[in-house]
Amino acid sequence: MTIHRPNAGTTQQAVIKPGAPIKTASDQSDEQLLQEVSMRAPMMRAAYESNLKDVNNYIRDAQESVNADPNDEEAQQALMDAYGQKSMIYEMALDRSLQ
């Protein structure tokens, strides 16, 4: 990533390590959910972790599509569907953990 500073004679390079995890509120919520699943149904953690990884990738891809064309109604619907799927995963995990 190159950062150009107006009226400056130099260009600086931002250093971003590939694959370096960036923690978001969603990541923290996901981890809390997985901890709860681990305590109540340890054998289910891997399945929920995999499902969350898949849905987070879907959300990221859908968000990139919306960012590329904010007027694309199909991209917007895909993003809403992706968040709906994530919500369903949370509901299932919490319902199961309360039983």
pTM of structure: 0.70
Measured from the Cβ of residue 54, the count of other Cβ atoms closer than 10 Å reads: 13
Residue-averaged pLDDT of the chain: 80
Give residues with Cβ within 8 angstroms of 12, minimum separation 6: 2, 3, 5
* 3-class SS of residue 21: coil
**pLDDT value at residue 99:** 56
Q: pLDDT tens, 30-63?
A: 999 999 999 988 999 999 999 999 999 999 999 9
| Contact in structure between 77 and 64 (CB atoms under 8 Å) | no
Please indicate whether residue 21 or residue 63 has the higher confidence score (pLDDT): 63
What is the arithmetic mean of pLDDT over 70-95?
95
**pLDDT value at residue 94:** 86
Integer-rounded Cα radius of gyration of the chain: 18
